Amino acid sequence: MNKKILKEIFLLLIEVIKAFCEMLWKRIKGFFCLVWDRFFGVTDISSPDRGEEQEWGDTGEDTWPVASEGSLVRTEEPQSQGKREEAVHAPIIPEPPEDYGDNRMVLIVRDPECLFAYWELRKDVLGNILNALGSMAHSAKMVLRVYDVTDVIFNGNNAHTYFDIELTGKMRSWYIHTGKPNRSFCADIGFLTPNGTFRLIARSNPVKTPPAGVSEVVDETWMSIEALYEEMHATEGFGSSESVREKTHKGWQEILKEGVSSFETSRVSPPV
């Protein structure tokens, strides 16, 4: 082989080994510098990467960053509430209707001398009655007729007495002062013509007012406790000469004597 070629190969190997050694030396040197800074906090003096040496007493205040005046003011943001308030809406309750399409009248007792009546009248029923009255419809008045139906089965014509109350406007209820406690009543609502003709629109239920005073029903005899004991012990053969109180007292004395004697006997008896 040619000597020149061998020489070139040898020089190339030397360059490769030299580059490898330089790279390895840099790695080892960097490793030792890192360890030295970590444990001693001082970099290598001979290191070319070391910056310019700072003079003693120079704090470098001129090179410090200056904060703007606006950034010095601390603004506190409002804290958000932890709980979220939810709006609570009440359920919408529909208003009750003015009428239910009934044609009736109800009578209620308020006290021994007063009643309360309320009613609902259908327009078609009123229209039919007014048409039936004809020319008298303009002069007819709506009245509340109250009957005294005590102890009778009312059929519209057999009441003891009655009286009328004239209704004005669109009245739908009325307090009726009868002044008669402990009586039965029934009421009609209808049209009354000038000639005395009464046309019924609706009739109420019968009611009875309570008495105004204390009830007259009282117990004539009251059974005493002693009489109750007499009745209970009659089957046991006790004589009627001795009172129940004396018998009961003697019975309790005997029971107490037996209890005391048994206690004394158990206390003084010798052990077995």
Indicate the pairing of strand 184-192 with strand 141-148. Answer: antiparallel
The pLDDT value recorded for residue 47 is: 52
Residue type, 131: N
Tokens of 6: 């061998």
Please, what is the angle between helix 225-233 and helix 244-268, to 10°? 70
Q: For residue 201, which of 109, 123, 100 has the smallest C-alpha distance?
A: 123
Q: For residue 202, which of 109, 98, 102, 103 has the smallest C-alpha distance?
A: 103
Q: For residue 117, which of 105, 103, 126 has the smallest C-alpha distance?
A: 105
3-class DSSP string for the chain: CCHHHHHHHHHHHHHHHHHHHHHHHHHHHHHHHHHHHHHHCCCCCCCCCCCCCCCCCCCCHHHCCCCCHHHHCCCCCCCCCCCCCCCCCCCCCCCCCCCCCCCEEEEEEEECCEEEEEEECCHHHHHHHHHHHHHHHCCCEEEEEEEECCCCCCCCCCCCEEEEEECCCCCCEEEEECCCCCCEEEEEEEEECCCCCEEEEEECCCEECCCCCCCCCCCCCCCCHHHHHHHHHHHHCCCCCCCHHHHHHHHHHHHHHHHHHHHHHHHHCCCC
Q: Which residues have C-beta within 8 Å of that of residue 173, sequence separation ≥ 6? A: 116, 117, 118, 119
| Distance of alpha carbon 254 from alpha carbon 250, whole angstroms | 6
| Distance of alpha carbon 234 from alpha carbon 43, whole angstroms | 126
Domains (range + CATH), the chain = 104-208 (2.60.40.10)
Per-residue pLDDT of the chain (272 residues; tens, 9 = 90+): 577 788 888 888 888 898 889 888 888 888 888 888 777 765 544 555 544 555 555 556 566 666 555 555 555 555 555 566 677 778 888 888 877 888 999 999 999 999 999 999 999 999 999 999 988 889 999 999 999 999 999 998 999 999 999 998 788 999 999 999 999 999 999 999 999 999 999 999 999 999 988 877 776 666 666 666 666 666 555 544 455 566 666 666 676 666 555 545 455 444 44
The pLDDT value recorded for residue 241 is: 47
pTM of the full predicted structure? 0.48
Q: For residue 143, which of 102, 196, 181, 179 has the smallest C-alpha distance?
A: 196
Q: Which residues have C-beta within 8 Å of that of residue 139, sequence separation ≥ 6? A: 193, 194
